[in-house]
Amino acid sequence: MPLITFSSPEYKDKTVYAVAGSFTETVLKIAKTNKIPIDFSCENGECGTCVIKVTQLGDNAPMGYHLEEKEKAILLELGKVSKDELEDMIVNDLPSKWRLACQFIPRDEDILVEY
């Protein structure tokens, strides 16, 4: 069962289980359910308010994730990724270390989410 550890300089770290069947839930939804105060606004991948840094924990190779065009555009606009980094992620099936919490649906791996 994957563990998601939420970490912020302003709050105590909190680790939650992403329970079975929750692989349709975004990190933002999981955070809200667990009363973790990630900032958000549009909840639709358009404002960038909910940007988070994601680190894969454990020994397994990190899973690649498909990013929708609007998320790529916001991450580029925020300067979190470059066009070259995006291309590298697509070609080599690598995860982005920056994601939008309202768009990111974690899978079966332990992750650290910094917000």
The residues that touch ligand FES, with contacts defined as CB under 6 A, are: 40-43, 45-50, 100, 102
**DSSP letters for 17-53:** E--TT-TTS-HHHHHHHTT-----SSSSSSS-TTEEE
> Is residue 27 a contact partner of residue 104, using CB atoms and an 8 Å limit?
yes
98 phi and psi angles, rounded to 5 deg: -110, 130
The CB-of-111 to ligand FES minimum distance in angstroms stands at 17
Nearer to ligand FES, 45 or 95 (CB): 45
The backbone torsions φ and ψ at residue 17, rounded to the nearest 5 degrees and listed phi first, read -85, 135
By beta-carbon proximity to ligand FES, the closer residue of 19 and 42 is 42
Calculate the CA 54 to chain-centre distance: 5
Q: Write the DSSP symbol of residue 63.
A: P
What minimum distance in Å lies between the beta carbon of 25 and ligand FES?
Answer: 14
CB of 58 to ligand FES, least distance (A): 26
Least spacing, CB of residue 20 vs ligand FES, in Å: 25
Nearer to ligand FES, 46 or 57 (CB): 46
Nearer to ligand FES, 89 or 100 (CB): 100
